[in-house]
């Protein structure tokens, strides 16, 4: 099988503007993403709901709606309220039904020689 000849390409460096030391290649930075859904939602949720007689914000109405669902017995809404109030419940690590799991770390010195078993951190 014949090897392909290597071709060396030379870049045309004429007309290239190189930056001066300490000068940024993008002085204005990355443009803001005003049109992404998250930023639009964050803006809108702080606005007043025009159809609400008490002139509450959308955020306030969402909280009230979630609370009503939780009180009515909606498990998802109730879980959301509890997690926002107290934080998520941590799940213990378990192996085969055990309540805890023992983890052993062996520490090696920089020369990669193992340390005696007595020096193992548990």
Question: What is residue 79's DSSP assignment?
Answer: H
Task: Give the separation between CA 108 and CA 120, rounded to whole angstroms.
Answer: 10
In this prediction, residue 50 carries a pLDDT of 93
Task: Give the separation between CA 15 and CA 80, rounded to whole angstroms.
Answer: 59
Question: What is residue 101's DSSP assignment?
Answer: -
Per-residue pLDDT of the chain in tens (122 residues, 90 and over written 9)? 566 666 666 667 666 667 777 777 777 777 666 678 888 899 999 999 999 999 999 999 999 999 999 999 999 999 999 998 888 877 776 655 555 556 676 766 665 555 555 554 44
- For 58-91, what is each residue's pLDDT tens digit? 999 999 999 999 999 999 999 999 998 888 877 7
Task: Give the separation between CA 103 and CA 30, rounded to whole angstroms.
Answer: 45
Q: Identify the burial level of 81 via C-beta atoms within 10 angstroms of its C-beta, where 0-12 means exposed, 13-18 middle and 19 or more buried.
A: middle
CA atoms within 13 A on the CB side of 53: 0
């Amino acid at each position: 099988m014949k090897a392909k000849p290597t071709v060396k390409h030379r870049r045309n460096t004429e007309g290239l503007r190189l930056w001066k030391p300490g000068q940024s290649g993008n002085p204005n930075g990355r443009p803001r993403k005003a049109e992404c859904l998250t930023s639009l939602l964050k803006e809108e949720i702080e606005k007043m709901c025009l159809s609400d007689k008490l002139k509450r914000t959308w955020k306030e109405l969402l909280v009230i709606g979630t609370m009503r669902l939780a009180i009515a017995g909606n498990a998802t809404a109730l879980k959301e309220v509890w997690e926002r109030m107290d934080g998520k419940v941590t799940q213990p690590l378990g192996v085969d039904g055990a309540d805890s799991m023992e983890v052993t770390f062996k520490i090696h010195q920089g020369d990669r020689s193992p340390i005696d078993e007595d020096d193992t951190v548990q």
